[in-house]
Amino acid sequence: MKTKLIEDYLDELFINPKCELNYNTDYELLINIMLSSQTTDKKVNAVTKILYNKYNSLDKLSKADYKDIEDIIKPLGMQKTKSKNIVNISKMLIDDYNGKVPDKKEELIKLPGIGNKSAQVFLGEYYKIPAFGVDTHVFRTSKRLGLANEKDNVLDVETKLKKLFKKDVWYKRHLQFVLFGRYYCTSINPKCKTCKLGKICKYYNK
C-alpha cells in the first residue's frame, strides 16, 4: 500500500522523468555522471559545455593537459582528482574498450571515479538496462518515507528499493526519487506542507 501511494505520487509529479545532465555521446554521459559527485547537474552542464567545445573527441580528452581541464572544471570542486579521472577514463576507453563505454557494471567500475552508483545511473540512462542508482537524494528520501532504515548504507537502500519496485521501472523510479529529492523533499526546508506523502513520512511526523 505504501509503495503504491509513493509510486502514484511520483507519477503525478514526474510522469516522464528525464536525466538533467546534458550529453551527446556515451563517454560524455559517463564523464558527466562522474563530475556530478558533490555538486549539481546545473554546474556540470555549464562547465562541460566549455569542456566538450574545446575537447570535442575522446582522443582529444585522452591527450588533454590536466591543468587545463582543472581550470575549466574548477567550479565543480575536486578539480585535481576529477581532471585526472577525465583524462584516464578517456585513455582506458580508447585502449581497453575500442572507444565505447562498456555495458557491464563490472567493467564500468574499473574506470577511474566510477563506482557502483555512477555505473548504475549510466546503465539505466544510456543502455536502458534496469538499474537503481542510489545518490544522496534517493538515499535521503527513501529513509524519510520509511522504505529503508536510518542505519542502512547505500547498498542496503539499493537492495530494498529493488525489492519494492518492479524491475522494469527501476530506472524511472530512480529518476523520480532524484527529482523528488532535488525539488520537493530537499535536505533543508522540504516542501512538507504540500506533499501528499506526509502521513507516511518519518521526517514530517517527527
Is position 135 annotated as part of the catalytic site? yes
Task: Map residue 3 onto helix, strand or coil.
Answer: helix
How far apart are alpha carbons 26 and 15 in whole angstroms? Answer: 25
Q: Which cell goes with 119?
A: 555505473
Q: Which of 96, 135, 151, 168 is catalytic?
A: 135
Q: Which cell goes with 42?
A: 546545473
Q: Which of 26, 82, 117, 172 is catalytic?
A: 117
How far apart are alpha carbons 113 and 74 in whole angstroms? Answer: 17
Q: Give the length of the chain.
A: 206
Task: Map residue 129 onto helix, strand or coil.
Answer: coil
User: Which residues does 204 contact at the CB level (< 8 Å), separation at least 6?
Assistant: 144, 192, 195, 197, 198
Q: Which cell goes with 184?
A: 520537493
Is position 156 annotated as part of the catalytic site? no
Active site positions, annotated: 117, 135
